[in-house]
Amino acid sequence: MLKNSEFVSKLRNSGLRPTKQRLKICEVLFNRDKTFHFTINDLAKNISKNFNKKISLATIYNTVHAFKDKGYLKEITISSDKSYFDTNITKHHHFYDEDTNLLIDCNDNEIGKVNIKNNITGKKISSVEVLVRVASDYQNQN
Amino acid sequence: MLKNSEFVSKLRNSGLRPTKQRLKICEVLFNRDKTFHFTINDLAKNISKNFNKKISLATIYNTVHAFKDKGYLKEITISSDKSYFDTNITKHHHFYDEDTNLLIDCNDNEIGKVNIKNNITGKKISSVEVLVRVASDYQNQN
DNA sequence: CAATAGTTTAGAATGATTATAATATAAATT
DNA sequence: AATTTATATTATAATCATTCTAAACTATTG
């Protein structure tokens, strides 16, 4: 639950001008108790419902990518045609419910630490992501 | 290293007619010692180089998807704009080299078993995938 | 060998994302 | 506080991977 003035600093601190559009998108994304997952399409719909002034789709794309680059969002790719963004930027893993197409955050109680015994020589690990796909019992298994 | 007649049975057994195009694609994908990763684009290029007769791009898409549906290929999504297919259909994880855009298979020596302590109620796990992104030390970290 | 069911094809359609370039706004400078 | 400069927004066009279409072709069945 952040205030408008906090979003202004947040944006300024990372070199982004605090425009009306960016502040509105901050409000929609970060003025909440819980983190959540969304697609660009979800966000665009949300804004058009809850904001009297229209924000151009191009601006929504630009802003989401800027926020991702600045580390305010993480992108989670489920399949080539489904890309989600996550306002939870801490290290964590996901369940993906194939019945409902919903992403669910895992916490450390649910998935233990991934044990990487060997890495590629000369390389540094930049991230470790686990995706657990789940479906109802009666569904076809992949 | 499979022979043409083996591909014919393989296709017949899964209800796919052994057409010239499918057999050629089988040869390119499965007539090898080692499994590998490819994109649709890689495959299309490979075929146009090594096959005198052209295979339509639509057929390449159809065939790759049919092979995936029949379980001969696995799809690995790295980001919304990069989708790879893997001829290794056993359970395994991947390193993704952000410098070279190359996928590398992990074996159990490299990544230990993922410990899933809790699952979503009423759901069955259909797959568990780990993706370890790596990059040279001097690269920017995400 | 004829019938039919499935496959391939080129090209068109789709749809998500990105580019463009004119306009608007924010910040810096005077 | 007016002017200049840099940056952001916008509508629209362009792009590009993928999917669709429906006509022509091929494999299989009887």
B71 conformational bin, left if phi > 0, alpha if psi -120 to 50, beta if neither = left
pTM equals 0.90
Q: Does the structure show a pLDDT above 60 at A6?
A: yes
pLDDT confidence tier of residue B1, bands split at 50, 70 and 90: low
Residues lining strand C at under 7 Å (Cβ) are A 12, 17-20, 40-41, 57-58, 61, 65, 83; B 16-17, 19-22, 53-59, 62-63, 80-81
Across the beta sheet with A102-105, the strand order is: A102-105, A94-97, A123-136, B123-136, B93-97, B102-106
Minimal Cα distance from A140: which residue of B?
Answer: B126
- Region A33-62 average pLDDT: 95
Beta bridge partners of A77: A83
Q: In chain B, what are the helix, strand and coil shares in percent, each to the nearest 5?
A: 30, 25, 40
Count how many Cα atoms sit within 13 Å of the Cα of residue A21 in the half-sphere of its side chain.
18
Find the radius of gyration of the CA atoms of chain B. 17
Q: How many of the other CB atoms lie within 10 Å of CB of B98?
A: 18
Q: Does the structure show a pLDDT above 50 at B120?
A: yes
pLDDT tens, residue by residue, B57-101: 999 999 999 999 999 999 999 988 889 999 999 999 999 999 999
Chain centroid to Cα B54, Å, comes to 22
- Domains defined along chain A, listed by start: 4-79 (1.10.10.10), 91-142 (no CATH)
- What ranges make up the beta strands (E) of chain A? 37-38, 74-79, 82-86, 94-97, 102-105, 123-136
pLDDT confidence tier of residue A128, bands split at 50, 70 and 90: very high
List the helix and strand counts (H, then E) for chain B. 4, 6
pLDDT tens, residue by residue, B12-51: 999 999 999 999 999 999 999 999 999 999 999 999 999 9
Count how many Cα atoms sit within 13 Å of the Cα of residue B52 in the half-sphere of its side chain.
0
Give the model's pLDDT for residue B137.
Answer: 76
Would you tell me which residues 83-102 of chain A have a C-beta closer than 8 angstroms to some C-beta of chain B?
A: 83, 95, 97-99
B40 touches chain A (CB under 8 A): no
Q: How many of the other CB atoms lie within 10 Å of CB of B106?
A: 18
Give the model's pLDDT for residue A82.
Answer: 83
Q: Among B95, B94, B114, B107, which Cα is nearest to A122's?
A: B95
pLDDT confidence tier of residue B130, bands split at 50, 70 and 90: very high
Determine, for residues B134 and A112 on separate chains, whether the beta-carbon distance falls below 8 Å: no
Residue A43 near residue A99, CB atoms below 8 Å: no
Residue A118 near residue B110, CB atoms below 8 Å: yes
Q: Among B98, B84, B71, B88, which Cα is nearest to B16's?
A: B71
Chain centroid to Cα B122, Å, comes to 30
Q: Where are the alpha helices (DSSP H) in A14-71?
A: 20-30, 40-50, 57-69
At a CB cut-off of 8 Å and minimum separation 6, what does A93 contact? A105, A106, A110, A111, A129, A130, A131, A132
Tell me which of B73, B103, B107, B130 to substitute to probe the interface with A (most A C-beta atoms closer than 10 Å).
B130
Report chain A's mean pLDDT, rounded to a whole number: 92
Residue with tokens 């230990």: B112
